[in-house]
Chain A
Amino acid sequence: MASVSWRRALFFLLVVNLSVLTTACSSHYGNAIEEFCLAKFKLDMEVLDQRQWCSWEDTVESYGELTNCTFLVALKMNCFWPNRMVDEFFIRVHRHYFHDCSMSGRLLHDPPNRILGPFIVVPILVTLLMTALVVWRSKRSEGIV
């Protein structure tokens, strides 16, 4: 009797699993992540200035939330995560928001003043020195010192 109930339980589990698989990932997943996750991400990015979109420090939180959101929706809808739909979704997001960011992933900014200063001042000083040199040499070529 126990073996029969075992077998029945196993059969029931199998049926349940099969039925779960048949309600697995459909194209509704794509719509779901667009509706739930992308909308929030869009709002977050709009708050930021467009020039800051490439700044990882400013966008890492919203990006993480977006990723988490797609994962949770995938769980809810019994999708395997990651999957092709979520890949295409992220490609679209990158193409829209991050297409012209530099390779380092950081927003380009000037070096600190203690580096920028010498870079600017030294050529100016060299210019003035060179000018003085030319004036002095052209004076000397006349024999007038």
Chain B
Amino acid sequence: MAIVGHALSIVSLLISLAIFFYFRSLSCQRITLHKNLFCSYVLNSAFTIVNLITVVNNPKVVQRNPIGCKVLHFFHMYMLGCNYFWMLCEGIYLHTLIVVAVFAEEQHLHWYYLLGWGFPLVPASIHAVARKKYFDDNCWMSVETHLLYVVHGPIMAALLVNLFFLLNIVRVLVTKLRDTHRAESNMYMKAVRATLILVPLLGIQFVIFPWRPENRLAGEIYDYIMHILMHYQGLLVATIFCFFNGEVQGALKRQWMQYKAQWGQRRREHCSMRSTSYTATSITEVPAFMYHHDCNSEHLNGKQTEDSELVALKTGETYA
């Protein structure tokens, strides 16, 4: 059952990645962070599926205890860390954008890449060393050891820090921007909303995990919810960040209209035997700067804004 969840996650994430790569007009720094996040989710789900098929369901391999299954476990822990640290990168990026250096155009993403891909090696390595020295069971499969907190501790810390950043952003948007720039604060609120929904969803499994209810019905409901939260995470992330995103939906609609117009045009040409090369305006070929401008200034799930309001906002107060 877990394999189904992860397979669905991989499929939806690959579709989202294809959308993000195909529509160049959508690309901006926030989308770049989304792409990295989705990559880490795809890899995590892939490693989980491989782990489940080759090790967990295979007692002969566990008895043989080859070194490969421990290496696989190590990479699995690394990918788990990458997932949550990329979510943290998204939170830090929004925080820097909105609270610290308001509406600044370009940040250097090197540090985000370091935190997202490089840093999770640290808890994963420490866990591998500790496990080898103190709790070297077959294939490191046992979950009854507190050494797992070596990986889960930093993950929970990352989630808490993320939550704190997001709540801070909401506070700034609500108190400081509300009076002067109501429309913009609503826009940014929508941008933050997606991340604010996801962080507790991803984190709650760690909080309520120890407290399985005794009651049979509640226990089953708990099992289903935990199962969904743990194994369908990639699907949730892809849905909330990509499929429910207004810009993505707009881009997809435009592409669909363009295809329809092209087919209609081709049929007319075919019928009338004309050789004109006129096709409907390819809307996705609009100069990149327009969409780049929108993405940088909005990063949102919402609609377009007036240029004048944006200029007013930029010359407004900055928040250090």
Contacts and interface: CB of A to CB of B under 8 A. Distances in A.
Contacts of B111: 133-134, 137-138
Given A102-B136, A127-B123, A138-B93, 7 more contacts: A108-B136, A110-B145, A121-B153, A123-B123, A127-B119, A134-B114, A135-B100
Given A100-B63, A110-B135, A127 B157 contact: yes
B154 interface: yes
Nearest to B119: A130
Interface string A73-113: 00000000000000000000000000010100000111100
Contact of A131 (B137, B142, B147, B158): B158
Interface string B123-152: 100100010001111100010011101110
A15 interface: no
Given A123-B123, A124-B154, A139 B147 contact: no
Contacts of B146: 110, 116, 120
Contact of B158 (A108, A127, A139): A127
A144 B63 CA distance: 58
Nearest to B93: A138
Given A116-B146, A135-B92, A144 B122 contact: no
B154 A138 contact: no
Given A120-B150, A122-B126, A131-B161, A141 B95 contact: no
Nearest to B107: A138
B38 interface: no
B96 interface: yes
A21 interface: no
Contacts of B119: 127, 130
A43 interface: no
A141 B29 CA distance: 15
B288 interface: no
Contacts of B101: 138-139, 142, 144
A116 B147 contact: yes
Interface residues of B, number: 40
A139 B96 CA distance: 7
A124 B157 contact: yes
A48 to B, nearest CB: 17
29 contacts: A100-B63, A102-B136, A102-B138, A108-B135, A109-B135, A110-B135, A110-B146, A110-B147, A111-B135, A115-B134, A116-B147, A119-B130, A119-B150, A121-B153, A123-B153, A124-B153, A124-B154, A126-B122, A127-B157, A131-B161, A134-B89, A134-B111, A135-B100, A138-B93, A138-B96, A139-B96, A139-B101, A144-B100, A144-B101
Contacts of A134: 89, 92, 111-112, 114-115
Contacts of A108: 135-137, 142, 145
B-side binding surface: helix, strand, loop or mixed? Answer: helix
Contacts of B100: 135, 138-139, 142, 144
A120 B92 contact: no
A18 interface: no
B161 A141 contact: no
A136 B93 CA distance: 12
Contacts of A116: 146-147
Given A110-B145, A119-B126, A142 B161 contact: no
Nearest to A112: B134
A138 B92 contact: yes
A127 B63 contact: no
Contacts of A141: 107-108
B187 interface: no
Contacts of B89: 134
Contacts of A122: 126
B85 to A, nearest CB: 8
Nearest to A109: B135
Nearest to B130: A119
A115 to B, nearest CB: 7
Contacts of A14: none
B173 interface: no
A142 B147 CA distance: 40
A123 B115 contact: no
B217 interface: no
B104 interface: yes
